[in-house]
Amino acid sequence: MSPSVTVSALLKSRPDAMGLPLEILGGQAGLERVITSPHIQKTGLALAGFHEYLKPGRILIFGESEIRYLESLDAAAREHALRLSLTIDFPCVMITGGFLPPPELLAESERARVPLLRTSVVTPTAIAKLSSILEDSLAERTMMHAVLMDVLGLGVLIAGESGIGKSECALDLIVRGHRLVADDTVEVRRRQESILIGTCPELTRYHMELRGLGVINIMELFGIASTRSSKRVELVVQLERWDPSREYERLGLDDVFDEILGLRVPLIRMPVAPGRNIAILVEVAARNQLLRNTGLNSARRLADRLDAQLSRREAHDLEFGEDI
C-alpha cells in the first residue's frame, strides 16, 4: 500500500512549526480525505479545464494569480469553473498569501466536502514548505530492531540479535561523547532517492533499556548534548556472536552492503567475543567510513603498495636472475 496522510493529520502535524501556519475555512466534512502525493497540483490547469493533466491525491493551490482570475469572472462563470475543478479527487484546496476566497469557492468546498485551507505564506514559499512536510509524511518507512547512534557525525545503525549487547555498546559510546538517536526500535524512512533518515518513536525517545539495570533516560543522565532526534543512516554495524569455525574479514578490501528500503548502506559484520571492546571498534569503524567517504581506503592503499612492491621484485628477478 502506498503511503498516505489525511488532511486532518496534516493539520495536526503542527505545520506552523515549519513556518507554514494553516487555518481551515470550510469543507470540514472532508478532513479525512487522503493526500497521496507530495507534489502540488497547478491550479491553472484545473481552472482552464485541462482535466486530463490533473492528478488526484494532490493538494490544489490557489495563489494571487488564481484568486485575481476568479475575481475577473462573473458569478456564474466562477461557479462553473470551480465546480469543474473540484470534480477531481483533490484532498483539499489551499489558498496562499492570506487572500480571501471568493464566496463561490467557499460554497463549492462545502458542497463537495473538500477542505479549504488558507495560509499567510506566499505561494513559492508555501509550496516549498508544504512539499517538504509531505515528503516526510509520505516517505516509505520501516521499523528496525537496532540502535541508532551519531558517531562523529556519522549515523551508525547497530544491529544484532536480542541480548548481544547493542544497548551496552551504545551506552559506552555515549560515555565517550557520542549521541543516541534511538534504542531498541528505530524508525527508518526513505527521503528523496538516496537518503535514509532514522528516528525514535516518540514514546521511547531518549530512553534506553539495560538488562539488570532497567530503563534509563539518557538525556537526564548525560545532558541534552548526548541525544538527537534524528540522523541519516550511513553505516550498519551487525553484531554477531563469535564463531571459531568461521572466517572473518581480515583486510577489508571488499565492500559489503546491507539493503534498507531499496537503498544500499555500507555494512560491517562485527564478531562479539569476551575481551573485545565493541564500542571502540564501532567508533574506529565510523572513523574509517568517514575516511572512505572522502575517497581514502586504507586497506586498498596498503594492498596497492604491496602489489607495487611485488611487481618491482618480480621485475628485478627477471632482469638479474634469481641466482644473483
The CATH number given to whatever domain includes residue 17 is 3.40.1390.20
The per-residue pLDDT for 212 is: 84
Q: Which pLDDT value is given to residue 84? A: 79
Summarize pLDDT for 255-279 with one digit per residue, the tens.
889 999 989 999 999 998 887 899 9
Span 42-53, pLDDT tens digits: 776 566 665 666
**Given 145, 301, 312, 316, the catalytic residue:** 145
Last residue of a domain, one of 83, 102, 137: 137
Residue 145 annotated as catalytic: yes
> Quick check: is 250 catalytic?
yes
Q: For the chain, what's the residue count? A: 324
CA distance linking residue 155 with residue 198, whole number of Å? 8
CA 254/CA 118 separation, integer angstroms: 54
Q: Tell me: do 30 and 153 sit in the same domain.
A: no
How many independent structural domains does the chain possess? 2
Residue 306 pLDDT: 80
Burial 25-48 (b: 16+ CB within 10 A, else e): bbbeebbebebbbbebbbbebbbe
136 is known as an active-site residue:
no
CB 61 within 8 A of CB 41: yes
Mean pLDDT of 219-245: 92
CA distance 101 to 85: 15
Angstrom CA distances, 147 to 158, 173, 239, 258, 286, stand at 5, 11, 11, 15, 15
Do 149 and 56 form a contact (C-beta atoms < 8 A)? no
pLDDT in tens, 175-218: 999 999 999 899 999 887 789 999 998 889 999 998 888 999 99
Q: What is the pLDDT of residue 324?
A: 46
- Tens of pLDDT, residue by residue over 287-297, are 999 998 888 87
Choosing from 74, 211, 246, 250, the catalytic residue is 250
pTM for the full predicted model: 0.72
The answer on 269 and 162 residing in a single domain is: yes
Instruction: Tell me: do 129 and 145 sit in the same domain.
Output: no
Residues 49 and 12 in one domain: yes
- Which residues span the domain enclosing 170? 141-275
Q: Which of 58, 78, 118, 166 is catalytic?
A: 166
Whether 132 and 29 share a structural domain:
yes
Do residues 145 and 271 both lie within one domain? yes
Q: Give the pLDDT score at 273.
A: 85
Catalytic residue among 33, 58, 179, 184: 184
Domain with 148 in it: what CATH number? 3.40.50.300
Residue 308, in any domain of the structure: no
Q: Are residues 113 and 28 in the same domain?
A: yes
Q: Is pLDDT of 303 > 60?
A: yes
Of 137, 167, 199, which one is at a domain's C-terminal end? 137
Domain boundary among 137, 166, 197: 137
Known catalytic residue at 166 = yes
Which cell numbers in the block locate residue 5? Answer: 496522510
Q: Does residue 260 share a domain with residue 164?
A: yes
